C-alpha cells in the first residue's frame, strides 16, 4: 500500500524515502533468507541447484517443477510428510498446521483447487434443488419449504461475486488480501473462535461492515473449511447449519 504523504503535511514529506528504504531492506532480507535456505537443498531429480519460481514453487533447469515445502519439509511435531491445503500446509499424519520455510511473507494459495471446489459445491446445490423440485412435482405437493431455492439464487449478486472471487488468482501472489485487508485466514479464525459445536450460517457475526461482501467471504471460507474437513455443512431451509467435523 502506497500512502500519499507528500500532499498531507510538509513534516511527513520525508517518510516516502523511509518507506522506500524499508521496502528495499525487506527485499534484501528476503533474498538473503532464500539464498541461505536454498543452499541446503538440491533438485530431487538431477541433484543440481534450483530456483524458486513462486510462493513455495520451484523450478530446475532439468525441467522439474515442484513444491519445495512438500518435497523437503517434514511435520515439526511428528516428522511425517506435509500436504498442501487451500491456504496452508498440514501434516498428513497428525493434521497439524505447519508454517512453510519456503514462504517469506507470501501466503500459499491454490486457485485451481479453490475454483474447482466452489464449482462442485454450487453444482451439487443446483442438483439437489432440481431433484427436490422433481420429487415434489411427482408427488404434486402444493407447498414444501425445502423446495424454495436457497442461498445463491436468493441473494442478488452473490453468484457474480463468487465468480469474481474464483478469478482472484490475477491478484499479485504476495498481496493476497481481500477487502479491508481481511483474508480468508481471518475469517477462518473468526469462525473457529465462534464455533462451539454447531451454529447457523446467518448467526455468524460479520467481520466486514460491507454486508454482501462479508456474506460472500463467510460462505467461501465455510466451503474451504468443509473441503479441509474441519466442518460439516447442512442446508436447513434458507440457512446453513455449520457443525464441527
Cell 538473503, residue located: 32
Residues 94-153 that bind Zn ion (CB under 5 A): 94
Site string for Zn ion, 81-100 (x = CB under 5 A): ----------x-xx------
Least spacing, CB of residue 41 vs Zn ion, in Å: 11
Q: Which of 22, 65, 78, 169 binds Zn ion (CB under 5 A)?
A: 78
Helix and strand numbers, DSSP H then E, in the chain: 7, 9
Give the residues across from 221 on adjacent strands. none
Q: Which of 13, 28, 45, 154 binds Zn ion (CB under 5 A)?
A: 45
Q: Which residues of 43-80 are buried (b: 16+ CB within 10 A; e: fewer)?
A: beeeeeebebeebbbbebeeeeebbbbbbbbebeeeee
77 binds Zn ion (CB under 5 A): yes
Least spacing, CB of residue 84 vs Zn ion, in Å: 15
Per-residue cell: 107: 501466503
Q: Which of 58, 60, 162, 225 binds Zn ion (CB under 5 A)?
A: 60
With residue 218 as reference, give the H or E element that holds it. Answer: helix 211-227
Q: Which range, of 42-50, 132-140, 165-173, 200-208, touches Zn ion by CB under 5 A?
A: 42-50
How much of the chain is helix, strand and coil, in % rounded to 5?
50, 15, 35
Least spacing, CB of residue 119 vs Zn ion, in Å: 31
- Give the residue among 236, 138, 180 at the shortest CA–CA distance from 1: 180
- For Zn ion, the closer of residues 77 and 234 by Cβ is 77
- Residues in contact with Zn ion by CB under 5 A are 43, 45-46, 60, 62, 64, 75, 77-78, 80, 91, 93-94
Amino acid at each position: 500500500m502506497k500512502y500519499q504523504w507528500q500532499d498531507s503535511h510538509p513534516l511527513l514529506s520525508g517518510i516516502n524515502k523511509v518507506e522506500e528504504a524499508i521496502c528495499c531492506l525487506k527485499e534484501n532480507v528476503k533474498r538473503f533468507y532464500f539464498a541461505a535456505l536454498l543452499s541446503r537443498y538440491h533438485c530431487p531429480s538431477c541433484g543440481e541447484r534450483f530456483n524458486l519460481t513462486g510462493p513455495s514453487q520451484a523450478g530446475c533447469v532439468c525441467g522439474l517443477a515442484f513444491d519445495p515445502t512438500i518435497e523437503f519439509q517434514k511435520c515439526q511435531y511428528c516428522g511425517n510428510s506435509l500436504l498442501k491445503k487451500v491456504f496452508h500446509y498440514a501434516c498428513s499424519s497428525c493434521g497439524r498446521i505447519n508454517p512453510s520455510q519456503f514462504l517469506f511473507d507470501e501466503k500459499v494459495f491454490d486457485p485451481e483447487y479453490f475454483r474447482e471446489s466452489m464449482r462442485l459445491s454450487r453444482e451439487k446445490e443446483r442438483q439437489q434443488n432440481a431433484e427436490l423440485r422433481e420429487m415434489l412435482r411427482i408427488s404434486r405437493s402444493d407447498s414444501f419449504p425445502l423446495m424454495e431455492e436457497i442461498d445463491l439464487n436468493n441473494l442478488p449478486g452473490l453468484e457474480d461475486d463468487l465468480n469474481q472471487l474464483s478469478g482472484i488468482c490475477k491478484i499479485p501472489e504476495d498481496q493476497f488480501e481481500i477487502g479491508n485487508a481481511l483474508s480468508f485466514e481471518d475469517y477462518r479464525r473468526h469462525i473457529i473462535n465462534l464455533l462451539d459445536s454447531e451454529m447457523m450460517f446467518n448467526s455468524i457475526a460479520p467481520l466486514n461492515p460491507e454486508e454482501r461482501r462479508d456474506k460472500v467471504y463467510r460462505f467461501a471460507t465455510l466451503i474451504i473449511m468443509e473441503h479441509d474437513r474441519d466442518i460439516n455443512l447442512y442446508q436447513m431451509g434458507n440457512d446453513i447449519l455449520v457443525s464441527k467435523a
